[in-house]
Amino acid sequence: MIDDFEPFGRPLFEDPSARALSRVGVVDVGSNSVRMVVFDGAARSPAYFYNEKVMAGLGKGLAQTGRLNPEGRIRALAALRRFAALADGMGIAPLTVVATAAVREAEDGPEFQAEVERETGLRLFVIDGQEEARLTAQGVLLGWPDASGIVCDIGGNSMELARIGKGKVGDRISTPLGPFRLQQVEGGPEQRAKVIERILRKARDIVKPEGERLYLVGGSWRVIARLDMERRGYPLTVLHEYRMEPAAVLETVDWIRRNDPATLRSRTGTSAERMELVPLAGEVLSAMVQMFRLREIDVSSYGIREGLLYEQMPQRLRERDPLIEAARQMEATQSRMPGFGKKLFTFLLPLFKDADMERSRLIKAACLLHDTTWRSHPDYRAEVCFENATRANLGGLDHPGRVFLGLSLLHRYKNSRSGSRFEALFRLLNEDELRQAEVLGKAMRFGAMFALGDPNEAAALRWQPKKKLLELTLQPRGEALFAEVAQARFKSLANALGATATVRSA
């Protein structure tokens, strides 16, 4: 890996090309919703400075009338007026506004496009299905750099599929499988099933799924995933990187079909407009699961809007790790001693010499984040750490990784996790992972005792796992720092390792 891309190389948010992207506003005018997002902070791992959505239903009835929904036009135009005013108030450069299936397919789409520019000053770029698929796939790559498989984005009037792998977008296709379109198919479920199968067969020939992952993008997919969590009693309701087995997806779609929509809505906070489309989207998802012979179905909260941000990044910025970049920016803006995370990681490295690449990046992220909640009340600091890691909008982090990171930070401030209100989440880790998270947390807890300088100039750790021996060598400047509290924390770390602790002077 090139040095400049290393997690502890030059920070992304200090780069001029990243600063130019520090606040970017995009608007997605879809068939069902109109959403404005303003990204802020390190471009490689975007923070959502502002996020607002209106369920305008612009494409409702389009398949039947060939025109945009009249009420949807009014609602969409009102939303765009507001978004233009908000952007002006925030001092953002001109918003990037894209419109997808509804506007590009409606006979009055050009008329609406002109009306938007006349009424709001916003230029509405109408993109074709191929471009929509490409941008959506890029959004997945923004949060999932190593993603490999098929991206599937469902909107109101269309569904796009694109192959991704090795950081690239490959073959793609736009299909008329949006729920609004399926509402117009006569003949009930049996006829819809025939239409869905015919269209998916053509799509399969283009993207060529090979028993791999399907990455789901779009509101209807997210509702299905949230309902899958509800059905399973899954403890972490973060949708990004939520993973489902094919059999579980089929069970959930059938469970949705058999249950009262109003009851499901109340359990998940889903809008009536969205829930109306979910069963139809479920029919499409079931057909894909069976026809594509998928290995796994993953949910991405990143899509076309994030793809528009990704589009503006230089390639060298795209290659940075989104998790590490987010953690670095949090350290730079929220910790007491920005830059100490790198020193802490180096100090603790002897304990984790055998860590693989994935575990190593989690350790680096934890070291960067270890002091970012210092403003919280001491009684709740451990809980705040855990919640920040498990609930934050972080890319490049799966659910077990979130819990591992959160638990290590919890142990940074608290020796024991027993009786924690987060115990249900701990079951996402096995016993060895729980132990490793505790070791990392207690190691950071001890290393923080040398935080007034470089801990590597005060002491050095040596870990001999076969002998179960943990050795601390104190330099002269470390002798005074290794007082009662530091001694207790060192002993706690040794206990977590199941080791004998020894201390000597250099």
Closest CA to 216 of 150, 157, 167, 276: 150
- Scan for tokens 């995933």, then name that residue: 225
User: Does residue 317 surpass a pLDDT of 50?
Assistant: yes
Q: How far apart are CA 460 and CA 349, in angstroms?
A: 10
CB under 8 Å to 74, separation ≥6 — which residues? Answer: none
- Specify the range with the lowest mean pLDDT, choosing from 12-26, 32-46, 237-251: 12-26
**Position 401 pLDDT exceeds 60:** yes
408: region left, alpha or beta (phi > 0 left; psi from -120 to 50 alpha)? alpha
Q: Which residue has the higher pLDDT, 84 or 6?
A: 84
Instruction: Determine the average pLDDT of the residues in 375-393.
Output: 89
Q: How many CB atoms lie within 10 A of CB 212?
A: 17
- The pLDDT value given to residue 312: 78
Amino acid letter, residue 232: R
What was the pLDDT predicted at 16? 57
Residue 197: phi and psi, rounded to 5, are -65, -45
Spatial distance between the Cα atoms of 113 and 124, rounded to a whole number of angstroms: 6
35 and 219 Cβ atoms separated by less than 8 Å: no
Residue 111 confidence class, pLDDT cut points 50, 70, 90: very high
Q: Encoding tokens for residue 206?
A: 């283009």
Distance CA 260, CA 58 (A): 26
List the structure tokens of 119.
């009424």
Domain(s) labelled CATH 3.30.420.150 in the chain stretch across 130-305
How sure is the predictor about 418, in pLDDT bands with cuts at 50, 70 and 90?
confident
Strand-pair partners of 462: 471
Rounded to whole angstroms, the Cα distance separating 205 from 419 reads 53
For the domain 21-126, what is the CATH superfamily, name and number? ATPase, nucleotide binding domain (3.30.420.40)
User: How would residue 295 be classed by pLDDT, with cut points 50, 70 and 90?
Assistant: very high
pLDDT reported for residue 43: 58
Radius of gyration of the chain (CA): 25
What local confidence, expressed as pLDDT, does residue 289 receive?
A: 96
CATH of domain 130-305: 3.30.420.150
SS3 150: strand
pLDDT of residue 22: 64
Q: Which of 77, 82, 122 is nearest to 98 (CA)?
A: 122
Residues in the chain: 506
Mean pLDDT of 32-49: 80
Which part of the chain has CATH 1.10.3210.10?
Answer: 321-505
Q: Is the pLDDT of residue 10 over 60?
A: no
Is pTM, for the whole model, over 0.75?
Answer: yes
Confidence of residue 394 (pLDDT cuts 50, 70, 90): confident
As annotated, the residues of the chain forming the CATH 3.30.420.40 domain(s) are 21-126
How much of the chain, in percent, has pLDDT values that exceed 70?
95
Q: Could you give the CA distance from residue 276 to residue 257 in angstroms, rounded to a whole number?
A: 12
321-505, which class in CATH?
Answer: mainly alpha
Mean pLDDT of 434-446: 97
- Dist. CA 113–CA 34, nearest whole Å: 14
